[in-house]
Structure 1
């Protein structure tokens, strides 16, 4: 193995069993999932800095934005299915899992309600959801 395929297979070991099951059934979704994950991570770091990307406002925003992008690109059901599977890793603290699932749900609602929105519009809608208190944050 070499190149792109090798790097993707190395990442396969870090997926939950639920994520693997989802990707076996929906292999082409992997491209949108990875692309949107990177976009959400970069936008959260840009808006909030790296210090709030674990249980803080940046983390809440990132989960919302990632799921808004996924719902727009893959449909709300698929966004929820994959992001729920993503939280199914062993020893995921219940409070963190609940926060992430809540924020994923808000994001998928936003993406489903705006199926033709640009990345920037979805980013702003998730930021508005954070500012209005719709997103859960564990650390201020």
Structure 2
């Protein structure tokens, strides 16, 4: 009850300009709501960073810094690494990691409902990729570091180009491949949390 009251107070204390975004944040499933209740004084900052990470990733996708693939590719890896790095910088490693894990639990519930995340139905390999890249992002910065967002951006891009993160194996046309390099039909992936997609180092798929 005490935490609920804190959350209610926190919700009403945020600025009007952020209320609609915060309401959307709270519309997420139970794992995200639980994180908010457990971290009431970090939630507003986490929301701001989450929106920032999406915006920066969208900008990176429009450049030639990475492969432009926001669903299983380098831009996807960038988004998660940048998100967790910035969260670590602003709210600490533990809170950042737990929010990243809550997001992946949310993705599993999204799969169960057959809803979309970033335009596609999430699956286990995507979640594994995200969690791996989350951890890599956490390593790239310390809490309260004075590293600028631009410096962090290039630090992550360089790490991805060096193969330090994970992406989903695809061919030049964007088709998913097995570990042996066999094309995976989209029909065989439908409705399956576990499938035969595989992860490769982030400097592959070139």
Q: Structure 2-normalised TM-score?
A: 0.60
Residue 64 (structure 1) aligned with residue 81 (structure 2): yes
- Mapped contact 1:76–1:111 kept (Cα < 8 A): no
Bigger RCO of structures 1 and 2 (CA < 8 A, at least 6 apart): 1
SS in 2 for 1:137: strand
Structure 1 runs (4+) deviating above 4 angstroms are none
1:99 corresponds to which residue? 129
- Mapped contact 1:65–1:126 kept (Cα < 8 A): yes
Residue 22 (structure 1) aligned with residue 22 (structure 2): no
Matched positions, count: 139
1:119 corresponds to which residue? 149
Q: Structure 1-normalised TM-score?
A: 0.86
Measure the CA separation in 1 of the matches of 2:25 and 2:101. Answer: 18
SS in 1 for 2:141: helix
2:175 corresponds to which residue? none
- Mapped contact 1:64–1:103 kept (Cα < 8 A): yes
Measure the CA separation in 1 of the matches of 2:17 and 2:61. Answer: 33
Measure the CA separation in 1 of the matches of 2:166 and 2:21. Answer: 33
Bigger-Rg structure (1/2): 2
Q: Which runs of 5+ in 2 are unaligned?
A: 1-15, 112-121, 171-204
* Worse overlay, 15-24 or 44-53: 44-53
RMSD: 2.4
- Higher helix share goes to which structure? 1
- Mapped contact 1:37–1:66 kept (Cα < 8 A): yes
* Worse overlay, 32-41 or 129-138: 32-41
